[in-house]
Homo-oligomer: A and B are copies of this chain.
């Protein structure tokens, strides 16, 4: 969770072999780096290795750019996929929302109370209804109504907003439109969706209706990265809530809201704290 101290976070993955941890940590130690947190994972099925290291920025006496330069040779040798981020450069989270506002309300509380660290450069909706609430929080609100005719144009506007606001992450906080394949391809592993079912159950529209019809005894929510295939992207986080025969469809929808809020906020925190590595269609989450 949020730490007041300035931290660099290094994440990497590479083919597994002897000596990765020792090489990486020795590299850091030789620069005087104090490691505050380290996590590793080796996937036995395809022999791939994953690592996340948090370093006290003050102990390193260099900025991330200089670290990047020095680290690059070794990274190349190990064929690493890697990045290093600086906690002072807070992630910029653009939130998309439709009429259902519970997830937005919840995220804005966490943003305002700095429960974990992120910026919200703007919020985009296809409706006007949340403008006043969002603007009360001091955040710009863009309304891009979507129709069959204007879709292509509005999505182009959206991409402009993402770029103009330097979005690091895009959160679909119950945004009820399916993004275009182009947008999905432009922002791989950078668009986070909350789906209101325990995937892979109840893919697509009206999952609570589907759950009610099937008579399940628990409902769930799934936070996942968006890919071109609907509700099929890498799963970040899931949770459930108990229901029973006395729950009407409306009760299920209300009970589900609390699960959705918690799952989405956990998933977003993992992302902005660089705790997630994507491997194929799965995630490694160092929580």
Contact = CB atoms under 8 A, between A and B. Distances in A.
Nearest to A40: B38
B215 A250 contact: no
A121 interface: no
Contacts of A245: 41, 282-285
Given A22-B22, A239-B218, A250 B2 contact: yes
B246 A41 contact: yes
Contact of A42 (B36, B133, B238): B36
A182 interface: no
Nearest to A23: B29
Contact size class for A?
Answer: 35 or more
Contacts of A133: 136
Contact of A18 (B1, B32, B199, B234): B32
Contact of A21 (B38, B234, B235): B38
Interface string A35-58: 111111110100000000000000
A105 to B, nearest CB: 5
Interface in A65-83: none
Interface string A96-113: 000001100110010001
**Interface SS majority for chain A:** mixed
A248 interface: yes
A237 B215 contact: no
Contact of A248 (B1, B33, B39): B1
B200 A214 contact: yes
Nearest to A281: B215
Contacts of A198: 198, 201, 218, 220
A115 interface: yes
20 contacts: A1-B250, A1-B254, A18-B29, A18-B33, A21-B29, A22-B25, A25-B25, A25-B26, A38-B40, A39-B39, A199-B216, A200-B214, A215-B281, A217-B237, A218-B220, A218-B240, A240-B240, A245-B283, A245-B284, A245-B285
Interface of A: 1-2, 18-19, 21-23, 25-26, 28-29, 32-42, 44, 59, 101-102, 105-106, 109, 113, 115, 132-133, 136, 198-202, 214-218, 220, 234-240, 244-246, 248, 250-251, 254, 257-258, 262, 281-285, 287
Which A-B residue pairs are the 3 nearest by beta carbons? A215-B282, A22-B25, A19-B29
